[in-house]
Amino acid sequence: MKIISMITAVILALTMLVSCGNEKMSDQTTAEFVKSMGVGINLGNTFDTTGDWIAKEVSAQETGWGSPIITKDIIKCYAESGFGVMRLPVSWTFLMDENGGINPDFMDRIDKVVGWIIDSGMICILNSHHDDWSDKFCEDFDGTMEIYTNMWKQICKRFKKYGENLMFESMNEVGMDGIWDRFGGKTDGKDTAFEMFNKINQAFVDTVRSSGGLNAERHLLIASYWTDIELACNGLFIMPDDPAGKCAVSVHYYTPADLCLISEDVSWGKARTDWGSEADYQLLNKLFDMMTENFADKGIPVIIGEYGPTLRDQLTGEALENHLKSRNDYIEYVVKTCVKNKLVPLYWDAGYTEKLFDRTTGQPHNAASIAAIMKGLN
């Protein structure tokens, strides 16, 4: 029995090697690749969780912000609902050892979920999410760069077997606030901050391209400065040099902030329940036109890596009814305008409040908002 088991194991291993060896990249451009995505969604607040109260264990990190353990059926539900791409946010440093090694069990877990996403027919975007790069790079640029590139070397080594349906994204929402205060109204340190940021993206591309396997031709997603549309288009953010010429750019869209970022009044704004004024439409069109003119029309594909309004579920009656209609009008128009402007939108689904899917049942939770997304696409 032991001999048979050993033979079986060897055969399975060889089969996997052959399968990986058969993976290859097509000759489609990154613009064609991104266009094929349609609309997408994030598996947010799951593998990107961090916090001192979370045990340094794989399952604890996955459920630390309230998500259940992810299953293949949950991933399948997203795909069957019409989404063509899933962004998988991951905070790699949370389970990293003192020598910079990524926890092997965590790596195995991410590998399994990536496989589920791709097997479901969706494209997977794998990133570095809540790894606190903003503060770390400002405090010790060279030392942090070593940690950052070492992290990506490990990710590249593990995932180089996958074909083009796996895309790497350099980082999430990162900026050098310790060098330049973007809200301070001054320009002191601004050029230096962007230079530092651009070096990080260049190091990302260089690390991936030199890692071997299919990574030499993999489509890559480059995060813009704070993934902010206006900062991406100010001339200081520069796309990295890529010998493969296969890079897209990422921005996020949480505008207006008083609709998308707060569900109750705060010091800087009063939470909105509605959207759809002429000024709202004009602002959205203006910002998306900027991305088209500065990137898409120049051959650099654009992915809106996150978007989505808050859900004011404390409302009742007619106020709630009007709010829900307004939310879905917003969602539909974001998607419709993305299609018109050659951009690809990825809804931020964090698994609670604004969730589109119930991760405990693996079934749609907010059918109206899912329908709004698909209506905008078509």
Please identify every residue annotated as catalytic.
Answer: 173, 306
- To which H or E segment does residue 42 belong? strand 40-42
Using alpha carbons, list the distances in angstroms from residue 70 to 63, 73, 163, 327.
9, 8, 23, 27
Which tokens hold the place of 200?
A: 């990080």
196's tokens: 């530092």
Examine residue 345 and say whether the peptide bond preceding it is cis (omega within 30 degrees of 0): no
Q: Which is nearest to 213 in space by CA: 23, 18, 7?
A: 23
Interatomic CA distance for residues 166 and 114, integer angstroms: 8
Q: Which residues contact 254 (CB under 8 A, 6 or more apart)?
A: 260, 261, 306, 307, 308
Return d(Cα 124, Cα 40) in angstroms, integer.
10
- Number of neighbours of residue 185 by Cβ within 10 angstroms: 6
In single-letter form, the type of residue at position 200 comes to: I
3-state secondary structure of 86: strand
Q: What is the DSSP string of 279-310?
A: HHHHHHHHHHHHHHHHTGGGT--EEEEEE---
